[in-house]
Each structure stands twice: as structure tokens, then as C-alpha cells.
Structure 1
């Protein structure tokens, strides 16, 4: 296992794979990009380099980004030639199980004994994909978010067979790329997409029931709790609000929608124990009540600056055109 990943490859030059390749190249790592054909890989590299130049000119990429992409990105003739000599390979082909399995088998067969392989699957359990590789100790899920360069989070999903060395090497790689690498359990959808799809399902139900239009749902989410989620996760928000408040609200929601939206048992247990969040110092998280004002000050400053940013940027183009 390499103590440091210094040479990488990405298999799949689409929006996600291209963004991953771009990000790693901008982190100073030589990166080979493979696609369905050598010509497709060449076109992807050309697109990524041109995009980098445009983004740099608009201040979205750091100064010197175009030169870094030119220096570090190369199109590979095939998956096998991309993988040869790589310390780390990111599989980023479309979310089709058979295709991912076949691609991972090719990557694994071409990889060296110490090459770490990460799958960028959005929802397929990593244990299922691990059946396609010959060295499961070198394999794990590495789920980037879209768009790759700008979104900080990357989920790391080891299996029971993934070695600590492989996990550590990938964490160091992501640190170099200025990402927030979070280890999560191997379950369908992991953390990010299980939550995201649960929200989408409930939003769709409201539209199907005629309670709101998609436009109304989006407006409420982006300007209400979605606004807060830029800084605090759901458990921090609940702790700050008060878990007793949450439990009481769940009673009203359950009375309207039934047991599927009843208060979670873990929430009721916290309230029964007197752990109400910030006001008691313990909820889902540990928060010192003496720091309540400091937390409020941070919250207020964060929300004020985000509100100002949204006002400065204006609404998304598809909204402004419909206004």
C-alpha cells in the first residue's frame, strides 16, 4: 500500500468523473483519464482544460489553474493504460450495476498489487461492488458530490475487508484536494443520498397530494431549513431549537399523517431523559449552555452573510426568467 498517493487515474470522463479528475489535477497530482474510447478521453481532457481556463478567468478556479490542468491531465488510450502505475484509481462510470462491475473488474485486473481503487457510486452498496475486484482490501467507496470541485464533502465507505492503510491513503489524498472526507457505513445511498432522496420523496408526495407546486416546495426549502443546513446539520438544528419542541411538533404532524411521521424513538428517549439540547447541555450533541450566546452569535453572523450572498447573486436564472 502506498504511504502517499502521488499518481492517480479516473475511469469515466463524464460530468462527475471529469470533475474528479479536474479536482485531483488541480491538487497537483498527475491524472490519467480514461473513457469509453481514446477519442472520448481526449475530448474530455480538452473540455476540462478549456473549462479550467474559463473558470480561472472568472475567479472560480485559483490562479494558475489552467496551467495545472495542462500539466497534470492526460487522456489515456484505454482503462488499462490509465491504471498502469497509478497509486489510486477512481471509478466514475454511470450508475448501472453491470457496467460498474465490469469496469471495476478491468481496473482491478490492470492495477498493481498496491493500487487503491475507489468507486464513486451514488447508492450501490460497496460490498456488492467489492465482489468484482481481486483485492478487496484495496477497495472502498469514495463518493464525491456534484459539482466535484466546489462541494466540500466526500463520503468514504469502507467494507469490512478494506485495509486501514487504504482508508488512510484516500483520506490524505482528499485532504490534499481540500475536501471534507467523512467515513460512513456501507448501506444503500450511504448518508448523503439516503437523506436527499428521503426529502425528495416527501416533496414529491406533497406535489402529488396537491398541497404545493414544485416551485413552492423549492422556494420554501431553499429559504427555510435548507438555508440553515449550509451551517448546521439536522441534529445541531434540533438541539438548538430544543428536542422537547421537536417532540411536540411531531405529535401534530403524526396526527395528520400517521405513524410514518411519528416522533423517532431516539428523540423521545432523549426528551424522557431530560436531554433537551442546548438548554440542558446535552441532546444529540454535547453543547455547553454557557456557550449559548456564542453559538447564537455564530448563527446570526452566518445567516446574515449567507442572506447577503443570496441577495448579491440574485435568484437562479430559471427563476428570474419566470418572474
Structure 2
């Protein structure tokens, strides 16, 4: 996607692991990027780290060969927040996940930035409406949540608060797409989507270990080799549609024998089943897949899973255990 943002100036406030990765992503898409941190010395050191990282990533084939030179030429270390945002059309805040720090930084940033500059926050859990309280011109403010590690994870949550100008959202989504990533619109809610789902899974996994149902290692094995194996290609609604929503309803009812509240049947699932919308086998479910395309979908699914296994075989096991344990 190199060149998609050529001629545009961005500022990234907070140049640590997440902010630095976002700066790399923007620079590789053609943007001029100014970074700033708690002081000029830290900012300069982090810029050098980003260049060194780009060299390692390029050597490993993870970044294009030109990446080190591109990051070096397009990422500039500003002396302070005000200098970083001067003339920038888009500002991404990526400071520590504490509301008081974000408020302090965003007061300075929004006061110094141009009135029409869009300001995003990379917060992963704090409500955007709460953060917006410190922003001058909150209609231009929203959440733009990259995932760790920012250069390599493609999904980005775009989170609006009640006062966000809808025109700002479309422009931010264009920026995200220009970096080669995939924006998804999310309303302002605790945990947003990513972390609400991620921590729900972790909570249930931890309970299984605590109850002695399986070890942490075996839970991880089950997740990554069963339903987790599907997730690079399909989200939970597509997976449910292909499994059959009537099957899902039956399974919820079975789990309710032990946990009636925790696994209560979702109202939307019950409504679909009662209406005869059972997923791909009935021609409609949460996602509308025409009956004539189901064979094509199944063929894609089978190819995808086979290729995924081939990739895993090629990469080998992740280095999570001692060499002798493998």
C-alpha cells in the first residue's frame, strides 16, 4: 500500500511499542509522520528504535526492502507534542492506558492542532466519550484502535462517541484502508468489540483450568486447533450459520443444564430459529448467503483450512516450550 498517503502529514503522540508501530505503518503507506513522547530525548531514541526494527523486519522478509530508508526519511522526531501536531491533518494518540494521562496529553494536543485536524485515540478499553471530555473540538475525535503488533495485525476498531462527526469517520476509514488494514465501526461501549470478546474467552478458559477440566496447555491446543482454526477466515456469525443455528440453539440448551444464566440462549439466535432461518442450510441466518453460493462457500472453507494447516506445518510449532519438550 506504499504511496497511498503521500503528501499527507500525520502525528503520533506516544512513540512506544504501539505508537511506534502505528508510525511505521503510516510511513510505509506514504505519509510524513511526526512522533512525540514525554521529552525530545525519548522521542529521538524511539525513532532510532523504529528504524532498527524496520531493518530487522526487512531482513526477515516481513517489511519490504525499502522499509528502513522509508521509515528513516518519513518519520521525524518532534521536540514536543505541539511541534508534532503543527500542520498535521490527523493525530493519533497512543500514550499509556490511563485516563488522566490521556486527558493531559489530549488537552495539549487538541489546543495546538489545527481546528480541522482529526484526532484519534488508540485506547483499547477506555470509553471514547470519557476521553473526549478533554478534547477541544470533540466532534473531530474518535477511537482508532490498532492491535498489537500494529505492523502485522490487520484489524482496526474505529470507535465513535455520541458527538463524533459522521464525516470524520469515513475519512478515518479511508486512512486505515490506505495502510492496507481493515476498519470496523464500533459504538462506544466498555471493552468495545475486540477486548470484550477476547477477555470473555480468557475468563472462560481460566475457569476451565481452575476447575481442573484441562491444563492451560491443553486449552490452548483445543482453541487453536478447533474453533480458533476457523477464525482467520470466518467470524462467529458465519461459523454459526455454517454449523446450523438450530444446532447452536440445542447446544445452548444443553449447557443451560449446568449454567442456566451464563449460557442463556441469545434472543437473536432464538428469533432466527423460530423463523426458520437456520443458516446456510436454509438460505438465510445471521448472514444472508444465497443457496446457490453455498457449494462455493464450502469449497472455499475446505481450501482455506487445508492451506492454514500447510502454513502451520511450514512454520512449525511456536517456541513456547523447551526444545526437549517438543
TM range, normalised to the smaller chain? Answer: over 0.9
User: CA 1:257/1:5 → structure 2, altered by over 3 Å: closer, same or farther?
Assistant: farther
Q: Which of 9, 12, 15 is the matching residue for 2:14?
A: 12
Partner of 2:274: 272
Partner of 1:96: 98
Q: Which of 115, 123, 126 is the matching residue for 2:125?
A: 123
| Pairwise CA RMSD | 1.5
Q: Does 1:180 align with 2:182?
A: yes
Q: Does 1:257 align with 2:244?
A: no
- Give the match's secondary structure for 1:255: coil
Task: String of CA shifts for 1:87-145, please: whole Å, max 9, x gaps.
Answer: 11100011111111111111111111111100000011111111110101111110111
- Give the match's secondary structure for 1:67: helix
- Give the match's secondary structure for 1:257: coil
Partner of 1:144: 146
Partner of 1:27: 29
Moved more, 287-296 or 118-127: 287-296
Q: Work out the CA distance in 1 between the residues paired with 2:321 and 2:225.
A: 14
Per the normalisation by structure 2, the TM-score is 0.95
Partner of 2:240: 238
Tell me by how many angstroms 1:164 deviates.
Answer: 2.6
Moved more, 130-139 or 160-169: 160-169
Q: Which of 216, 221, 228 is the matching residue for 2:218?
A: 216
Tell me by how many angstroms 1:256 deviates.
Answer: 2.1
Tell me by how many angstroms 1:173 deviates.
Answer: 1.2
User: CA 1:67/1:240 → structure 2, altered by over 3 Å: closer, same or farther?
Assistant: same
Structure 1: runs of 5+ lacking an equivalent: none
Q: Work out the CA distance in 2 between the residues paired with 1:283 and 1:268.
A: 11
Task: String of CA shifts for 1:176-206, please: whole Å, max 9, x gaps.
Answer: 1111011111111111111111111111111
Moved more, 224-233 or 171-180: 171-180
Q: Work out the CA distance in 2 between the residues paired with 1:268 and 1:150.
A: 38
Structure 2: runs of 5+ lacking an equivalent: none
Q: Work out the CA distance in 2 between the residues paired with 1:320 and 1:173.
A: 42
Tell me by how many angstroms 1:5 deviates.
Answer: 7.9
User: CA 1:18/1:4 → structure 2, altered by over 3 Å: closer, same or farther?
Assistant: closer
Task: String of CA shifts for 1:205-246, please: whole Å, max 9, x gaps.
Answer: 111222222111111111110110110000000000100111
Q: Work out the CA distance in 2 between the residues paired with 1:5 and 1:143.
A: 24
User: CA 1:284/1:5 → structure 2, altered by over 3 Å: closer, same or farther?
Assistant: farther
Q: Which of 157, 163, 166 is the matching residue for 1:164?
A: 166
Q: Which of 294, 306, 309 is the matching residue for 1:307?
A: 309
Matched residues, number: 321
Tell me by how many angstroms 1:4 deviates.
Answer: 9.8
Tell me by how many angstroms 1:319 deviates.
Answer: 3.2
Contact in 1 for aligned 2:279/2:287 (Cα 8 Å): yes
